[in-house]
Amino acid sequence: MNLDLTPEQKLLQGEITRFARTELNAGARERDRDQEFPRDLWAKCGEMRLQGLPVPEEYGGGGLDALGTAIALEALGYGCEDGGLVFAICAHLLACVVPIWKHGTEEQRRRWLPRLCDGSLIAVNGMTEPDSGSDAFAMSTRARRDGDVWVINGAKTFSSNGPIADLALVYAVTNPDKGFGGITAFIVEKGADGFRAGQKFEKMGLRSCPIGELVLEDARVGDDAILGGVDAGATVFSQSMDWERACLGATHVGTMQRLLEGAVKQARTRKSGGQPIGKNQAVSHKIADMKVRLEASRLLTYQAAWRLEQTRAAAMDASIAKLHVSDSLVASAHDAVQIMGGYGFLVEQGVERTLRDAVASTIYSGTNEMQKSIIARWLGL
């Protein structure tokens, strides 16, 4: 087994890291403070096809395989210090673009993918509801047929990109007797009758990625809005979560690499008692822990991403990666703040922002408690 990156993968990594550092970082602190979504930077990312990395080139994407996508996203998480922007791209790409690519009809792919991949359109995934999060398939949103249209009623919450989205992937119950086998995914356009963005929320981290509610009040869509077939929503959603759990974690691997480099630099240069603080085992062992977490996270992420295209059942690998990477990110961001001392607590250093951003990673894409339940289920428990 050769674990080295290919020359093409190294090139891609270098290109995205350079792009992120030179184009995306200025003003990240202010955007976090003001909860401001950087539409201009989103457009620049679109020019790089970051919003469509794995989508075939014929639909306007980057044509990367799943592992290449993870490597590219790792470089984005490494180079880009605006965690909200990185998250907005991933929410759009992994929970909306990938499902349309994987489950769309040829007509849906041609209609939506080119503009989603180049960033002309922004997408939101609407699954979670005020009364159903971990128990996502217990949703209340209903869709019923009325002549030749579908009428959807319900409300979604925690919808990342919701306040600014042009397109929503909304899940609704179409067949209440069939449990999770009775859910359908609908592509709903901004401006559709009865559909609107609801309340916007303020949150602890990832503040440049707007989050809010989606409201469907007798929203009307045609058959051409159905993604993957009637009652096939659980399959669409589950596969999108495999991609999100594997590949969003790749951005966190990149972030952990950046945190580690910052911590090493601080440990070598900051002096206490006449010697660099890194000479103290209490500090150097923290850094060793950060390194171990990083390397294990990277391997689990690459394995999960690779599995996405090798087998029909990548779910357990994706859950293992998601669980380990997000716990590692929180622990390493906390260590990084501690190693910086008082400076780590200052907003201008940016490390506290990374810690605030990191906290959400153990909640989104399914909480870490739920990942343990998924892993246990795969083990027959």
Ligand X SMILES: Cc1cc2nc3c(=O)[nH]c(=O)nc-3n(C[C@H](O)[C@H](O)[C@H](O)COP(=O)(O)OP(=O)(O)OC[C@H]3O[C@@H](n4cnc5c(N)ncnc54)[C@H](O)[C@@H]3O)c2cc1C
Residues designated as active site: 244
370 binds ligand X (CB under 6 A): yes
**CA–CA gap between residue 353 and residue 333 (Å, rounded):** 9
Q: Which of 259, 294, 360, 374 binds ligand X (CB under 6 A)?
A: 360
| Distance separating alpha carbons of residues 29 and 64, to the nearest angstrom | 31
Among 149, 331, 373, 375, binds ligand X (CB under 6 A): 373
Which is nearer to ligand X, 67 or 370 (by Cβ)? 370
Between residues 125 and 266, which has the closer beta carbon with respect to ligand X? 125
> What would you report as the CA-atom Rg of the chain, rounded to the nearest whole angstrom?
21
Nearer to ligand X, 20 or 206 (CB): 206
In whole angstroms, give the CA distance from residue 365 to residue 208: 19
Site for ligand X in 105-134 (CB under 6 A): 125-128, 133-134
* Cα 43 from Cα 157, distance rounded (Å): 26
CA distances to 197, 202, 217 from 194, in Å: 10, 25, 5
d(CA 302, CA 261): 21
Nearer to ligand X, 22 or 238 (CB): 238
Residue closer to ligand X (CB basis): 190 or 279: 190
| Binds ligand X (CB under 6 A): choice among 89, 91, 247, 336 | 91
Q: How many CA atoms lie within 13 A of 266 on its CB side?
A: 22
CA distance 22 to 79: 9
Q: How far is the CB of 107 from ligand X (least distance, A)?
A: 26
How many C-beta atoms lie closer than 10 Å to residue 312's C-beta?
Answer: 7
- Judged by CB under 6 A, the chain residues 176 through 235 that form the site for ligand X are 206, 211
Q: Which residue is nearest to ligand X (CB)?
A: 133
Among residues 259 and 370, whose Cβ is nearest to ligand X? 370
Total site size for ligand X, rule CB under 6 A = 20
When binding is defined by CB under 6 A, the residue of 222, 369, 376, 377 that contacts ligand X is 369
Residues 1-60 contacting ligand X, CB under 6 A: none
- CA angle at 116 for the pair 198 and 63, rounded to the nearest 5°: 145
Is the Cβ–Cβ distance between 322 and 249 less than 8 Å? yes
Choose, by CB under 6 A, the member of 160, 174, 301, 354 that binds ligand X.
160
Contact 82, 45 (CB under 8 A): no
Scanning 65-73, 249-257, 318-326, 369-377 for contacts with ligand X by CB under 6 A, the matching segment is 369-377
Give strand pairing partners of 216. 154, 195
CB of 294 to ligand X, least distance (A): 22
CB 212 within 8 A of CB 171: no
Taking CB under 6 A as the criterion, the residue among 68, 210, 254, 366 binding ligand X is 366
318 conformational bin, left if phi > 0, alpha if psi -120 to 50, beta if neither? alpha
As a whole number of angstroms, the distance between CA 167 and CA 322 comes to: 26
Q: Exactly one of 277, 364, 371, 374 binds ligand X (CB under 6 A); which one?
A: 364
Residue from 159, 255, 301, 319 binding ligand X (CB under 6 A):
159
Taking the least distance from each CB to ligand X, the nearer of 331 and 363 is 363
Contact between 236 and ligand X (CB under 6 A)? no
Q: Please pick, from the candidates 164, 299, 363, 375, the single residue that binds ligand X as defined by CB under 6 A.
A: 363
Distance CA 175, CA 157 (A): 22
Query: Phi, psi (5° rounding) for residue 38?
Result: -85, 85
Interacting span for ligand X (CB under 6 A) from 212-220, 252-260, 322-330, 366-374:
366-374
Smallest gap from Cβ 363 to ligand X, in A, equals 4
Residue 193 phi/psi, 5-degree rounding, is: -50, 125
The Cα diameter of the chain in Å comes to: 80
Closest distance of CB 331 from ligand X, Å? 17
Q: Which residues lie near ligand X (CB under 6 A)? A: 91, 125-128, 133-134, 158-160, 206, 211, 360, 363-364, 366-367, 369-370, 373
